[in-house]
Amino acid sequence: MRGDRRGPPTVEEQVSRMMTELMLTPAQVTRVRALMTAQRAMVDSMHAKARASHDGDRRTMDAMRDNMQKSLDDVLTPEQRTKHRAMMQSHRGRMGHGGTPRRGGADHRRSDSRDRR
C-alpha cells in the first residue's frame, strides 16, 4: 500500500499489480522487473538533468515510454497486452493524463508558448 506517499508507484508496486492483474509467469515477472528497473533509472536521470537545466525534453520522455511499451509487449501474451493497455488507460484517466481533465475540471497541461510549437 502506498499510503500518503506522493509520486509514481515503485517498481515493486508496478510489478506486483501486473502480477495480480495480468497473471504473469515467474519468467515474465523477472523480465518485467528488469525492464521497469532500467526504465526508472533512465527517467530518474532525465528528471535530474531537467531540474539542473530547467529544460525537460518531453519528446525524449515520450519516446522512452513508447520503447518501454514495446519491450513489455515482447514479454506479455496478447491477452496480457490488452489488459495492460486497459490498466494504463485507467491510470492515465485517474492521473489526469491523455487529455483527461483533473478533478475540478482544470486541464493540467501547460498553456505557455513552448507548447504551441
What are 55-93's pLDDT values in tens digits? 557 777 788 889 999 999 999 999 999 999 998 888 777
Q: Bigger pLDDT: 6 or 75?
A: 75
60 belongs to a structural domain? yes
114 belongs to a structural domain? no
1 belongs to a structural domain? no
32 belongs to a structural domain? yes
CB 75 within 8 A of CB 28: yes
Domain tally, the chain: 1
**Spatial CB neighbours of 89, under 8 Å, sequence gap ≥ 6:** 98
C-alpha cell at 36: 521497469
Q: Bigger pLDDT: 71 or 50?
A: 71
**Does residue 108 surpass a pLDDT of 70?**
no
108 belongs to a structural domain? no
pLDDT confidence of residue 37: 96
5 belongs to a structural domain? no
26 belongs to a structural domain? yes
User: pLDDT tens digits, residue range 80-89?
Assistant: 999 999 988 8
Which residues span the domain enclosing 30?
11-75
98 belongs to a structural domain? no
Comparing CA positions, the residue from 65, 81, 83, 82 lying closest to residue 73 is 81
Write down the pTM of the prediction: 0.54
